[in-house]
Structure 1
Amino acid sequence: MGPIDYLVVEYPGKSPTGEALPYLVDLVDQGLIRILDLVFVRKDPDGSVAAIDMADLSQDRSTSLAVFEGANSGLLGQDDIKEAGKAIDPGSTAAIAMYENRWAAPLARALRRSGARLVAVGRIPVQDVIAALDSAEAAAAATRP
């Protein structure tokens, strides 16, 4: 197995449009990721969080979520849904996805066979990378004659 990641994507004050769905399907079709769990939740104005049926989200949309129906490994539990609900604003909908990075599985197997061990892992938010690149570019421009 490759490394397992999760993400919570909030749609403030609305439901997902489905615009990103073809890109997710493409990642799966290419074998880069495998969706283990995909859950949609709604946070009511009173703060309560509840799962939403995918069929309710995909009605009246050209893009169907049917391809992900049954994406339920059991790893993502009610406690995880409640925890994700803390991160989203009242009146919003969110998608919670847990996925395997299948592209990394051969590397992970080779590392294990060679006796390597993972000692650190992390992710740098893209906004931080963009800000750092912009800053470096501005500093370089300031030193040019």
Structure 2
Amino acid sequence: MSDEPNEPGPIDYLVIEFPGSRMTGEGLPLLVDLVDRGIIRVLDLIFVRKDSDGSIRGVELADLAGDDRLDLTVFEGASSGLLGRDEIDDAGKVLEPGSSAAVLVYENVWAGPLAAALRRGGARLVAGGRIPVQEILASLDAAENSA
């Protein structure tokens, strides 16, 4: 083991829209599992609502967790300070009126030790990115149809 402090992994964010503001909580156990296994660390989790008139507002976790089906209290206090009013407004711009969204900022904890080891070995990251899932699915469909 190294005496070096843990290096943070890459930080990512997701904006997850819930059309019609219908949140079932179906993905919540999977998110909790990722945190429990140390794969990610939730830095921020906020909720945004875009009303039918186009106005955008932040929504408190307590306002979402009152139906006994969606218990978000495990993430109460998840706030690194990275998200503010500008990010709420930006997230709201991509939402359909009458919808809500979760804005999740998380650290890829699994990647921190790997990145540190590579740097110690003289490697450096020279590019990175993400392929949108829609592109992957379209590519897979095209390959299946041409087979």
**Structure 1 length normalisation: TM-score?**
0.91
Q: How many Å apart are 1:21 and its aligned residue?
A: 0.6
Which deviations, in whole Å up to 9, do the C-alpha atoms of 1:81-124 show, x marking residues without a partner? Answer: 11111111111110000000011111111122223222221111
Residue 47 of structure 1: which of 44, 54, 67 is its match? 54
Going from structure 1 to structure 2, the CA distance change for 1:45 and 1:62 (only over 3 Å counts) comes to: closer
Residue number in structure 1 paired with 2:23: 16
The AA in structure 1 aligned to 2:113 is P
Q: Is the 1:42–1:93 contact (alpha carbons within 8 Å) kept by the matching residues of 2?
A: yes
* Pairwise CA RMSD: 1.2
Matched, 1:88 2:89: no
State the distance in 1 between where 2:58 and 2:70 align: 20
In 1, the alpha carbon distance for the partners of 2:127 and 2:95 equals: 28
Contact 1:15 1:57 in 2 (8 A): no
Amino acid at match of 1:114: G
State the alpha-carbon separation in 2 of the partners of residues 121 and 44 from structure 1: 36
Query: Is the partner of 2:146 in helix, strand or coil?
Result: helix
Query: Cα offset for 1:61?
Result: 2.6
Instruction: Report the more deviating stretch, 94-103 or 112-121.
Output: 112-121
Equivalent of residue 125 in structure 1, options 132, 135, 143 = 132
User: What is the correspondence of 1:107-118 to structure 2 with a 5 Å cutoff?
Assistant: 107-118=114-125
Normalising by structure 2, we get a TM-score of: 0.90
Cα distance in 2 for partners of 1:62, 1:129 equals 33
Unaligned runs of 5+ in 2: 1-7
Q: How many residues align?
A: 140
Further displaced range: 59-68 or 69-78: 59-68
The answer as to whether partners of 2:64 and 2:70 remain within 8 angstroms in 1 is no
